[in-house]
Chain A
Amino acid sequence: MVHQYKLGGYNIVLDICSGSVHAVDEVAYDIIAMFEQNDRDTVIAEMAKKYADREDMTAKDIEECYDDVVELKNRGKLFAPDTFEPMAGKLKEKTAGVVKALCLHIAHTCNLNCSYCFASQGKYHGDRAVMSFEVGKRALDFLIEHSGSRRNLEVDFFGGEPLMNFDVVKQLVVYARSIEKEKGKNFRFTLTTNGMLIDDDVIEFANKECHNVVLSLDGRREIHDRFRVDYAGKGSFDRIVPKFQELVAKRGGKDYYMRGTFTHANPDFLEDIKVMLDLGFTELSMEPVVCAEGDPAELTDADMEIVKQQYEQLADLMLQRDREERPFTFYHYMIDLTGGPCIYKRISGCGSGTEYMAVTPWGDLYPCHQFVGEEKFKLGSVFEGVTNPDVRDEFAACNVYARPACRDCWARLYCSGGCAANAYHATGSVTGIYEKGCELFRKRMECAIMVAVARALGGKK
């Protein structure tokens, strides 16, 4: 399968199954579009007609170009067939029972009252609760016990607001560090926080122990404070931004993300990105809101068009800032064309419910943080292990080829089938698709690859 598009002044051709990316001129673009459905003579005649008034496009040029396309096809870099379906599920079979990442719901409570919160203000539609050290310790032991030969183990401190239970977070890290060497493991911790409780102690801890920190900021003050308010209804922007700035300044180059959400209130989210940049942050992520249909925060069809334009403008801004030697990172535009994931990863799905699970404050296991509170998806607990193998098997069977709608989608090897939770909430099935999410994902990928092309060609068009 080939996907062609024009963006940022580039004609881009993606060969989906080989992973090849080509920047081509107009005639090559047109030849590739006709190639599979027509024979050589027809294509060349059509091109000769189309480019008849172009002095720089001789008959010889067109023939040469056609032969280049043939050569790329013969080298497996164009029109490569999809031979991966038999491998779907193999990685999960090979690693069946191996868990490598846990999302620890350290606190099902929050000191902010954001109405758009997918976790219902941190409570996940249940009672307020915090995780005890005993439950957390058992979760870490469970992870080690089920990690097989996997060395890198990921643990997210998540909520609600995890800093409302900071002492337990610290104790768990001390415990993990005390055993990781003897167990042959390397824990990578991430802290996701709204910033309200950041102080010197938190900054020192996060910058020493956390592989990554995710700092929730929606951008413009008025946008941020529209949703991210305390229980008195007061916006949090002015209280958290200085703390985030201090934490990032002292981070010493370690990973972090400013992570915002955009909603119907700010489909023009590029303005929020610019505010984050003006505040001195350079590692950025902005996500479309995940909410129930009909929620006032939901992106409308008109918003979707604005958002897609914003993604294109964001790509332009990135290239402009590159030229000004003030680069920044946008999480969804990070793409490593030479060092990205192997094909097993690309077809295996996100790993929720198999290699990745969420742990509630009382130790229950769910396929991921977005399923917590959906009782029928409860997998078991860190004490008893997986006691509901049907749910595990349902998620183990999730892969690109298990989703009928993905089969003809050019982006399937970039998204790996998408988010099971979004699919479930949109269609009632974890093997469905969330079409709005797909639409935005495809646009993001086109932009991300355009940026990669522009960088690789040094701006040459």
Chain B
Amino acid sequence: MKHIETLETRNLCDSAKNGGCGECQTSCQSACKTSCGIANQQCESK
């Protein structure tokens, strides 16, 4: 598209079908310990 560049991203709607294994790191474990976010975490099953 000339006006829009779409980055490759994980489709969150699709992840509803195959996600939820729960193997990923607990949110604030191992680093910040005082403010929580999940965007910087890795999916363990990908």
Question: Could you say which of B13, B24, B26, B27 contacts A76, with CB atoms under 8 Å apart?
Answer: B13
Complex contact B13–A341 (CB within 8 A): no
Complex contact B26–A154 (CB within 8 A): yes
Question: Could you say which of A19, A28, A333 contacts B4, with CB atoms under 8 Å apart?
Answer: A28
Q: Which residues of A contact B36 (CB under 8 A)?
A: 350, 415-416, 418-420, 422
| Given A341-B38, A345-B38, A345-B41; A214-B10 close (CB under 8 Å) | no
Complex contact A22–B6 (CB within 8 A): yes
How far is it, in angstroms, between the C-alpha of A416 and the C-alpha of B36 when the chains are bound? 8
Q: Which residues of B contact A351 (CB under 8 A)?
A: 26-27
- Give min CB distance, B35 to chain A, whole Å: 6
How far is it, in angstroms, between the C-alpha of A452 and the C-alpha of B6 when the chains are bound? 12
- Give min CB distance, B13 to chain A, whole Å: 6
| Given A23-B7, A350-B36, A441-B35; A18-B13 close (CB under 8 Å) | yes
Complex contact A192–B9 (CB within 8 A): no
Query: Whose C-beta in chain B lies nearest to the C-beta of A87?
Result: B16
Complex contact B34–A419 (CB within 8 A): yes
- Give min CB distance, B29 to chain A, whole Å: 5
Category for how many chain A residues contact B: 35 or more
What is the interface of chain A mostly: helix, strand, loop, or mixed?
mixed
- Give min CB distance, A379 to chain B, whole Å: 15
Q: Which residues of A contact B32 (CB under 8 A)?
A: 259, 285, 287, 331-332
How far is it, in angstroms, between the C-alpha of A285 and the C-alpha of B44 when the chains are bound? 22
Q: Which residues of A contact B43 (CB under 8 A)?
A: 336, 339-342, 345
Complex contact A345–B26 (CB within 8 A): no
Question: Could you say which of A65, A346, A369, A418 contacts B33, with CB atoms under 8 Å apart?
Answer: A369
How far is it, in angstroms, between the C-alpha of A277 and the C-alpha of B2 when the chains are bound? 39
Q: Which residues of B contact A241 (CB under 8 A)?
A: none
Complex contact A65–B6 (CB within 8 A): no
Q: Which residues of B contact A259 (CB under 8 A)?
A: 31-33
- Of residues 297 to 336 in A, which have CB atoms within 8 Å of B's CB atoms? 331-336
Question: Could you say which of A211, A339, A344, A440 contacts B16, with CB atoms under 8 Å apart?
Answer: A344
Give A contacts to B, CB under 8 Å: 13, 17-25, 27-28, 61, 64-65, 68-69, 71-72, 76-77, 80, 83-84, 87, 90-91, 94-95, 98, 100-101, 103, 118, 150-152, 154, 156, 158, 188, 190, 192, 211-212, 214, 257, 259, 261, 285, 287-288, 290, 331-346, 349-352, 355-356, 368-370, 413-416, 418-420, 422, 437, 440-441, 444-445, 448, 452-453, 456-457
Q: Can you give 17 contacting A-B residue pairs, CB < 8 Å?
A: A20-B9, A22-B7, A24-B4, A25-B3, A103-B29, A150-B23, A288-B35, A337-B10, A339-B42, A339-B43, A343-B19, A350-B26, A368-B28, A370-B34, A414-B39, A415-B38, A418-B37
Given contacts A345-B20, A445-B37, 6 further A-B contacts (CB under 8 A): A21-B9, A22-B7, A338-B10, A345-B19, A355-B26, A414-B37
